[in-house]
């Protein structure tokens, strides 16, 4: 039984905390969204259907990846690859998770949330299922996998915002997508170095036949630049976000901590999921989140106190 639970990867449900970012954006920018007790309960419950659909995607991933996982130093020990589970039971589990996720969504959430949940499932299908199987296409795999970040933003947003006429700002959606691209490229970089053999990595995943350490590092730099640019646009365009300009030093620190750890000798021997467990990355992320929350809740026009940040003549 434990092998079946592991394939559903409940420990990865933590990724759905990114839905909370969508809640925060809606609460900050939509006047009708209040942070009262009822709204907080809806926000917390909105993570549940997403966790079910995420597990359905993880099961699909493990079934279809089994032939390739057998070529990986550690993934060869996974349930399907090692022959520890029955695939028929896994298909049944996947269907059960799907029905539970969409059932709860249709019962308790607006249509926008259900559409976003459908995108989350569709994302798993196009990423894993041949002949599309985007995970085998170099660089496109990162773009596709990191698209789950905007999807989770939409899940958080539409859990609290009824109707489809009010949409989250494109600048924030793109910033969140680019942030996901940075994390996913770092995951590829770590895995590429972890395997340590181009022939083995190319057999394990086709996209690794194109990747090199240099290409992956350049992609990480590109995504971090896009993230900062789109974030800056959002901060400038929306007065409620102006104060967030002061969180940039912490954002930079978090990104640098991630780069340093990914490029270190220790990072080269870690599996991708372990990369984010570094204490400095966790500390930088928590500090950034805490300061961001404080800057969003304060009503002090901090930016106006720093006139050197404004154009001359104002």
Residue with tokens 């499932």, as numbered in its chain: 121
pLDDT score of 303:
60
Tokens representing residue 127 in the block: 């990423």
Q: Are 116 and 30 in contact (CB under 8 A)?
A: no
Tokens representing residue 307 in the block: 């006139």
pLDDT score of 88:
94
Q: Return d(Cα 124, Cα 118) in angstroms, integer.
A: 10
Q: Are 280 and 249 in contact (CB under 8 A)?
A: no
* pLDDT tens track, the chain, 314 positions: 788 888 999 888 888 888 998 998 999 999 888 877 788 899 999 999 999 999 999 999 999 998 988 888 888 888 888 889 899 999 999 999 999 999 999 999 999 999 999 999 999 999 999 999 999 999 999 999 999 999 999 999 999 998 888 899 999 999 999 999 998 998 888 888 888 888 888 888 889 999 999 999 999 999 999 998 999 899 889 888 888 888 888 888 888 888 887 777 776 666 555 666 777 777 877 888 888 878 877 766 666 655 555 554 44
3-state secondary structure of 116: helix
Q: Are 86 and 1 in contact (CB under 8 A)?
A: no
Q: Are 12 and 54 in contact (CB under 8 A)?
A: yes
pLDDT score of 312:
47
Residue with tokens 């759905």, as numbered in its chain: 16
161 phi and psi angles, rounded to 5 deg = -110, 110
7-16 as b/e, with b when 16 or more CB fall inside 10 Å?
bbbeeebebb
Q: Return d(Cα 71, Cα 81) in angstroms, integer.
A: 9
- Give kind and range of the element (H or E) at residue 259: helix 248-263
104-131 as b/e, with b when 16 or more CB fall inside 10 Å?
bbeeebbebbbebbebbbebbeebbeee
3-state secondary structure of 41: helix
């Amino acid at each position: 039984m434990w092998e079946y639970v592991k394939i559903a990867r409940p420990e990865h449900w933590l990724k759905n905390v990114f839905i909370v970012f969508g809640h925060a954006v809606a609460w900050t920018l939509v006047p009708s969204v209040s942070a009262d007790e009822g709204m907080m309960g809806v926000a917390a419950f909105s993570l549940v259907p997403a966790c079910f659909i995420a597990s359905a995607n993880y099961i699909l991933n493990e079934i279809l990846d089994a032939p390739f996982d057998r070529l990986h130093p550690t993934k060869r020990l996974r349930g399907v690859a090692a022959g520890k589970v029955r695939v028929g039971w896994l298909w049944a589990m996947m269907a059960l998770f799907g029905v539970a996720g969409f059932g709860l969504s249709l019962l308790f959430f607006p249509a926008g949330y259900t559409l976003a949940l459908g995108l989350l499932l569709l994302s798993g299908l196009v990423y894993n299922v041949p002949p599309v199987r985007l995970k085998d296409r170099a660089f496109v795999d990162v773009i596709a996998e990191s698209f789950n970040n905007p999807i989770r933003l939409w899940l958080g947003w539409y859990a609290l915002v009824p109707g489809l006429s009010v949409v989250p700002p494109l600048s924030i959606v793109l910033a969140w997508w680019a942030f996901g691209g940075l994390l996913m490229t770092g995951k590829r970089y770590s895995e590429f170095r972890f395997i340590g053999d181009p022939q083995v990595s190319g057999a394990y995943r086709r996209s690794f036949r194109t990747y090199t350490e240099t290409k992956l590092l350049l992609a990480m730099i590109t995504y971090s630049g896009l993230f900062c640019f789109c974030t800056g646009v959002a901060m400038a365009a929306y007065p409620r976000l102006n104060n967030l300009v002061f969180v940039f030093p912490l954002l930079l620190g978090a990104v640098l901590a991630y780069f340093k750890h990914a490029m270190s000798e220790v990072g080269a021997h870690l599996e991708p999921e372990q990369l984010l467990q570094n204490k400095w990355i966790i500390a930088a992320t928590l500090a950034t989140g805490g300061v961001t929350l404080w800057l969003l809740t304060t009503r002090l026009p901090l930016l106006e106190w720093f006139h050197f940040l404004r154009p001359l003549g104002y």
